[in-house]
Amino acid sequence: MNEELQNNIEQRGPIQTIGVIGMGYVGIPAAVLFANVPSVKMVYGLQRNSPSSGYKIPMLNAGELPLKGEEPDLPGLLKDVVSAKRFRCTDDFSLISSCDAVTIAIQTPFLNPQDLIPDFSALEEGIRQAGRYLTKGTLVVLESTITPGTTIGIARNILEKESGFIAGKDFALAHAPERVMVGRLIQNIQEHDRIVGGIDETSTRRARELYAMVLTKGRVIPMTSTAAEVTKTAENTFRDLQIAAANQLALYCEAIGVNFYDVRNGIDSLKGEGITRAILWPGAGVGGHCLTKDTYHLERGVRTSGGESLDYPSGTESLFVTARRINDFMPDHMFHLLEVGLNRIHKEVRGSKIALLGWAFLANTDDARNSPSEIFYRRCLEAEAEVRVHDPWVTKWQGVTISSSLDETITRADVVVIFTGHREYHSLEPLYIRNRTGADHPVIIDGRNLLNPDRFIEAGFVYKGIGRGDKNNHPIIS
Ligand code: SAJ
């Protein structure tokens, strides 16, 4: 225990005033839940009054949520804490000087997908603001997903430089990565176990005190800040790896000529003490802002964390990066299925009419960040095909026309390609598509295993499906 920090914390007493920097899908539910804790007196939602996000300040103070989609419990909780004057959104960062704890939840998107380097500028600005108004005994917690080594590295350096204080002596510092998913933000914060990693024991203990206030089913899992950074990035790296393993096996099944889903059922049947085979699902690709970047945070952390040099098979690419390459290959595989499918009806991609169903990266959501559909779409345009995009959830996207009418999208199409597993696509009927396309042998490419291949093959379609080596070379029925 470091006495000085403990004394500074004890002089502050229990955590009653909290600042949450970053009013996004992580910061807003966190702030509202903290404000809803009886022992907490005030929570400030700290938000830059920037052209892109400043609108959130008056909106939140009016008790309105600036988040899309349904979020159970959050709207009511927000109205309650605003009317009880226990939460206020502001761009006045000097209020941090009255806070016992400050959490920072600012995203780190890629500067550009090519070089896979995250843009830390917004996060560093948030940390700088926290440092500028820090007072003794305050707890600072980073909630954003960050490269291992960031908390004890650049975050600590900025905080110490701006405040003139010493981390672990004058103020507590920790990393407690968010684990929220859109659509269940409040439930996730309350029920998921919370990884809490301080730069020292005293910081961990203070951070544990903060998060224990909002946990219901979830429990705090304490560790060091760097272990917490590795945990967060690795839990998504492992999910990406599991998906890549399913994708690779699906490609093998297509090449060998068997049904991936039979094989998956077979493997899954292996049960018993200590036996696990977590086979996920192959598909048209992996999108989103978690799995597409967290592997690279982990890879960078291994290189920059300043620990021991990595002992790894020389000349061998990281398994985790290879997994990323396999997942990023799946839109290209969908393009390959498109080419071979059209080839069976003696057509080329150039000049063909393609109905692309699904722009969102996740089924039944309007979230289209880093969507695999966009990779495929660009390849089709490069090949001089005509592409019409449909999505029942995504209404607009920079530079792409997205239709909400399936009729309009499919009319006169040569090929229908399913990229997202939206529930609307599960009930697609062969006759409906034939009538809308007017083609003798429409091509259907199922990127999410939504359809029954036989129903389409019997209706004269050319069918291609991810993992369906048993069906992909079927005879064409006239
Ligand atoms: N996907 C597959 N096969 C699968 C599962 C997903 O191809 O078996 C694809 C999806 O189509 C999507 C992408 O992967 O394009 C990502 O899907 P996801 O379900 O992992 O959703 P994300 O990206 O929103 O991941 C989030 C993460 N949550 C946080 O970072 C807090 C992740 O840790 C969760 O495991 C995941 O949600 C979840 O399980 O819902």
Probe target for ligand 1 pocket from 182, 186, 243, with the most ligand atoms within 8 Å of CB: 243
Instruction: Give pLDDT, residue 106.
Output: 94
Ligand 1 proximity of 362 Cβ (cutoff 6 Å)? yes
Q: Please report the pLDDT score of residue 114 as a whole number.
A: 66
Cβ–Cβ < 8 Å for 170, 193: no
Ligand 1 centroid distance, CA of 219 (Å):
23
Q: What is the pLDDT of residue 113?
A: 62
Residue 467 Cβ < 6 Å to ligand 1: no
Mutate which of 240, 286, 391, 420 to test ligand 1's pocket (most atoms within 8 Å of Cβ)?
286
CA of 239 to the centre of ligand 1 (A): 7
DSSP state of 259: B
Beta bridge partners of 43: 18, 87
Q: Does the CB atom of residue 239 touch ligand 1 within 6 A? A: yes
> What is the full DSSP assignment across 386-448?
EEEEE-SS---BTTB-EES-HHHHHTT-SEEEE-S--GGGTT--HHHHHHHH--SS-EEEESS
Q: What is the CA radius of gyration of the chain?
A: 25
Task: Show the low-confidence residues of the chain (pLDDT under 70).
Answer: 1, 113-114, 116
287 lines ligand 1 (CB under 6 A): yes
Query: Whole-model pTM above 0.75?
Result: yes
Is 180's C-beta closer than 6 angstroms to any atom of ligand 1?
Answer: yes
Domains of the chain: 2-218 (3.40.50.720), 223-478 (3.40.50.720)
- Determine if ligand 1 sits within 6 Å of the CB of residue 441: no
Taking the C-alpha atoms of residue 205 and residue 198, their distance in angstroms, rounded to an integer, is: 8
- pLDDT digits 0-9 by tens, 129-184: 999 999 999 999 999 999 999 999 999 999 999 999 999 999 999 999 999 888 89
Q: Is the CB of 194 under 6 A from ligand 1?
A: no
- Mutating to test ligand 1, I would choose from 362, 370, 446 the residue with most ligand atoms within 8 A of its C-beta, which is 362
Contact 36, 20 (CB under 8 A): no
284 CA closest ligand 1 atom index: 7
- On whether the CB atoms of residues 229 and 155 are closer than 8 A, the answer is no
**Ligand 1 atom index nearest CA of 285:** 7
Q: What is the 3-state secondary structure (H, E, C) of 307-342?
A: CCCCCCCCCCCCHHHHHHHHHHHHHHHHHHHHHHHH
Answer yes or no: is the C-beta of 280 below 6 A from any ligand 1 atom. yes
| C-alpha dist (Å) from residue 449 to 52, 124, 425 | 38, 42, 11
Atom of ligand 1 nearest to the CA of 372: 15
Q: Whose CA is nearest to atom 20 of ligand 1?
A: 291
Contact 374, 288 (CB under 8 A): no
- CA–CA separation, 385 vs 351, rounded Å? 5
Phi, psi for 389 (deg, rounded to 5):
-105, 135
Distance CA 47, CA 85 (A): 17
Contact yes or no for 138/100 (Cβ under 8 A):
yes
Phi, psi of 18, rounded to the nearest 5 degrees:
-125, 140
| Rounded distance from Cα 243 to ligand 1 centre (Å) | 9
Give me 421's structure tokens. Answer: 């597993």
Q: Which residues are catalytic?
A: 232, 290
Give the span between the Cα atoms of 193 and 214, in whole angstroms: 11
Q: What is 129-171 written as a DSSP string?
A: HHHHT--TT-EEEE-S---TTTIIIIIHHHHHHHH---BTTTB
- Phi/psi at 156 (5° precision): -60, -40
Amino acid sitting at position 357: L
* Closest C-alpha to ligand 1, atom 13: 286
Distance 290 CA to ligand 1 centre (A): 8
Is any atom of ligand 1 closer than 6 Å to the C-beta of 447?
Answer: no
Phi then psi for residue 462, to 5 deg, are: -95, 115
Instruction: Select from 437, 420, 424 the least CA-distant residue to 362.
Output: 420
